[in-house]
Amino acid sequence: EAGVAQSPRYKIIEKRQSVAFWCNPISGHATLYWYQQILGQGPKLLIQFQNNGVVDDSQLPKDRFSAERLKGVDSTLKIQPAKLEDSAVYLCASSLGTGSHQPQHFGDGTRLSIL
């Protein structure tokens, strides 16, 4: 089966600019996650969708970050405006079904550098 697809792989922008990331999960996977991975740290959950509904966005900085999952398939994560501390790898993951016992399947991420 095809894995989780993310684009772009790399993005360099200046602070205060906006940026968007795209994710296509594994076909049929109901749950989609966006994580932020800062260098030297583990992934931190930003937002979790079940189908096209938000399950958890408690750690999403909502003043600058937004995410949507239209039609319960693809998802986009946007940052506007970007800050220096947003430099990180943004990982998208998906899992089959909605149970917490399901392992997550990760894309290769988008590496964001803020100048």
Partner 1 sequence: AQSVAQPEDQVNVAEGNPLTVKCTYSVSGNPYLFWYVQYPNRGLQFLLKYITGDNLVKGSYGFEAEFNKSQTSFHLKKPSALVSDSALYFCAVRFNTNAGKSTFGDGTTLTVKP
Using CA atoms, how far apart are residues 92 and 86, in angstroms rounded to an integer? 16
CB of 41 to partner 1, least distance (A): 5
Chain centre to alpha carbon of residue 112:
12
DSSP annotation of 104: P
Nearest CB to partner 1, comparing residues 19 and 92: 92
How many CB atoms are located within 10 Å of the residue 76 CB?
15
Given the complex with partner 1, which of 18 and 51 has the nearer CB atom?
Answer: 51
Least gap, CB of 56 to partner 1 (angstroms) = 5
User: Would you say the C-alpha torsion 63, 108, 9, 25 has a positive or negative sign?
Assistant: negative
Smallest separation (angstroms) from partner 1 to the CB of 23: 11
> Encoding tokens for residue 14?
């200046």
> Which residues in this chain contact partner 1 in the complex, by CB under 8 A?
4, 31, 33, 40-45, 48, 50, 55-56, 58, 91, 93, 98-101, 103-109, 111
Specify the residue, 55 or 115, whose C-beta has the smaller distance to partner 1.
Answer: 55
